Structure formats: structure tokens, C-alpha cells
Amino acid sequence: MTREPTVNLSTVDAFLSTEGVCKTYVSRGQETKAIGNVSLAIERGSFVSIVGPSGCGKSTLLQIMAGLIEPSSGKAYIESQEVHAPPRQVVYVFQQYTRSLFPWKTVRGNVEYGLKSRESMTAQQIASRANEYIELVKLQGFEDHYPWQLSGGMQQRVAIARALACKPNVLLMDEPFSAVDALTRVGLQDLVLRLWRELGLTIVLVTHDVEEAVYLSTRVVALTKPPSTVGIDLEITLPHPRQQIATKELPQYLEYRHRLLAQLFADEGLATVAEANK
Ligand SMILES: Nc1ncnc2c1ncn2[C@@H]1O[C@H](COP(=O)(O)OP(=O)(O)OP(=O)(O)O)[C@@H](O)[C@H]1O
């Protein structure tokens, strides 16, 4: 098997970055060291997935990049500006979309809400922008439905439309596909991939799923167990457009998957099948 290159940070032109980020939570006098030391430089226009064992601080890192929480030490930057509050060009899509949508607002009302709170636009401009993004996530015909009248996948598409309607440059997504069934998940993955390419976004995605990470990304970062550091930082050079079946049969895809799983298993002290059979 050929070895694909790991990312050489010194050659990355950083758009988003973290420098020596550590995070220790203190709750009722008890310390939890989540992130040990993580430095990342993320290029504009890239699609970076962060994987790692449960509790290694993936969500924490994403929230630090989003300006939602402060690191205990180290810094996060966007375009060389230190991040202390949510930057305007960044939106965050939460795992629990059912909680992030307003149940008393329709699809249109939910998508428009983000615009009303972020921009000074006329009512007509807001309605037209909302329509544009409802169409982009293929929810036309459902504008007047309430979240509870939609499937889980459709609700997540509303959350994505609402996030993108603000025209962010950066989308930070925390396990956005984890609450839906396998087929819906595949559809949402391809939707996000299409939007990433069409809109020129920079995406950072937290996921437990190594296969999803490889399929979607231009780069996958695996964190070690806590207090976490970067275990492996892998550039993914699979061809675009990606296809759910054909891409996952490419030897290069399997090689990436192998390297990442081997890293995660080694970190957890789990044997691979080959080792277990020795
Ligand atoms: N607000 C908080 N107060 C105290 N501890 C916290 C808080 N938020 C997270 N933690 C702890 O920090 C560690 C990292 O949590 P985090 O959710 O960032 O990890 P994760 O890698 O995203 O986990 P998972 O994959 O299970 O979702 C965990 O041990 C968690 O219990």
C-alpha cells in the first residue's frame, strides 16, 4: 500500500487555526483535562473532519474555534484575528437540530429567523433569500410546514438552510448526521458536499465515523484520547465529485480508512483483526 502524506502544517496557509489549545474543565472542584495540546492550521476552502475517541474534546475544540468557549490556554484565530466571541463569518450547526429549530415557526420562519437576527435587510430581501436557501436544500413545497411535520433529515436540512442563509464563509458542524437513519445520512452527506463545492465554504466537521470523515473531507485530523493531541493529520486526495459507492471502493479510500482506524484502535488499546489472529 502506498502511504498518503500527512499534512505539513508549515506549508498550510491558515484561515482558521488553533495554537497550543488546551482545555481543562472544572466542575464541582473536579478537573477534567479534555484537550492536552492541539495546534491546527486550516486552509480556506478545505473540508476538515475531526475524529477521535469519545470524550477526547472534539466538540470542545469546535466550540473554541466558534468562539463559544474559551480555551484554558492557547489561542484560536480566524484570518489572524484572535477568536473570543462567535465571528460573523462563522456558523455552527448543532447535533441536536430538533432543539436548534423553533417548533412554533414554519420552515420559512426558521430560515428567516437567522437573517433577521444577523443582517439589516428588508422583509422582501429576507423572504427572497430564505426561498433561495430552502430551494438549495430541496425543501420547496414545505415552506409552511412546522418542524414536527418533517422527518429528521428534513429538519436537519432546515437547520443547514438557516445556517447558510446568512452566507457564512465557515460552517462548523458537530455530529450533524448522527440522529438520522443510514440512508438519510448518506443524502445529507452528499448535500453538504455539494453545498461545500458550490458555495466555496470552509467546513470543519466533528464526527465519530471514520468512513464519513474520509468520504467527505480534504483532510482528516484524528485526536488522541484525552488530554488529547493530534494523533494523525491526513490529507485526503480522493477525486471529486465523490460517489457513495465508487469512492468507497477506491484502494486509496481503503488506505485512508485503514490508517485512521489503526490509529484510533492503537490509541484505545484495541487489537486489529490481523493482530488478534496472530
Ligand atoms: N461543560 C463541561 N463541564 C465539565 N466537563 C465537560 C464540559 N463539557 C465537556 N466536558 C468534558 O470534557 C471532555 C470532552 O468533552 P467533548 O464533548 O468535547 O468530547 P467529544 O470528543 O466531543 O466527545 P463525544 O465524542 O463523546 O461527543 C469530556 O470528558 C466531557 O465530559
Domain match, 52 and 178 both: yes
The domain containing residue 272 runs over which residues? 9-89+172-276
158-188: string of b/e by CB count within 10 Å (b at 16+)? bbbbbbbbbebbbbbbbbbbebbeeebbbbb
Q: How far is the CA of 60 from the centre of ligand 1 (A)?
A: 6
Output the pLDDT for position 127: 93
Report the alpha-carbon distance of residue 215 to residue 238 in Å, rounded. 8
Is the bond preceding residue 241 a cis peptide, omega within 30 degrees? yes
Q: How far is the CA of 89 from the centre of ligand 1 (A)?
A: 25
Mean pLDDT by 10 residues, the chain (278 residues): 56 85 94 96 96 95 96 95 92 78 94 78 90 91 95 89 90 88 88 92 96 97 95 96 96 97 86 59
DSSP state of 108: H
Domain termination site, one of 167, 189, 207: 167
Judged on CB neighbours under 10 Å (0-12, 13-18, 19+), 205 is: buried
Report the alpha-carbon distance of residue 176 to residue 49 in Å, rounded. 12
Domain match, 183 and 250 both: yes
| Ligand 1 site-directed mutation target among 58, 61, 65, 94, most atoms within 8 Å of CB | 58
Domain match, 81 and 181 both: yes
Domain termination site, one of 122, 146, 167: 167
Q: Which of 8, 56, 26 is nearest to 233 (CA)?
A: 8
- Residue 118 in 3-state DSSP? helix
- Residue that is written with C-alpha cell 414536527 in the block: 148
Domain match, 239 and 187 both: yes
Which residue ranges have their beta carbon within 6 Å of ligand 1? 25, 27, 32, 34, 52, 54-60, 208
Question: Does residue 2 form part of some domain?
Answer: no
Domain match, 73 and 111 both: no
69 CA: nearest ligand 1 atom:
1
26 CA: nearest ligand 1 atom:
4
Contacts of 149 (CB under 8 A, 6+ apart): none
Please, which residues bridge with residue 85 across strands? none
Which DSSP helix (H) or strand (E) runs through 38? strand 30-43
Q: What is the ipTM of this complex?
A: 0.98
Output the pLDDT for position 153: 86
Report the alpha-carbon distance of residue 94 to residue 114 in Å, rounded. 14
Domain match, 72 and 192 both: yes
Please state the domain count of the chain.
2
Longest dimension (CA), the chain: 68
62 CA: nearest ligand 1 atom:
18
Q: Which amino acid is at 269?
A: G
Domain CATH number, residue 247: 3.40.50.300
Report the alpha-carbon distance of residue 146 to residue 136 in Å, rounded. 19
Alpha helices in 74-181 (DSSP H): 97-100, 107-118, 123-136, 152-165
231-243: string of b/e by CB count within 10 Å (b at 16+)? bbbbbbebeeebe
Q: Distance of alpha carbon 136 from its chain centroid, rounded?
A: 19
Contacts of 257 (CB under 8 A, 6+ apart): 210, 211, 214
Output the pLDDT for position 14: 84
pTM of the prediction?
0.91
Output the pLDDT for position 97: 66
**Nearest Cα residue to atom 16 of ligand 1:** 57
Contacts of 235 (CB under 8 A, 6+ apart): 4, 5, 6, 7, 218, 219
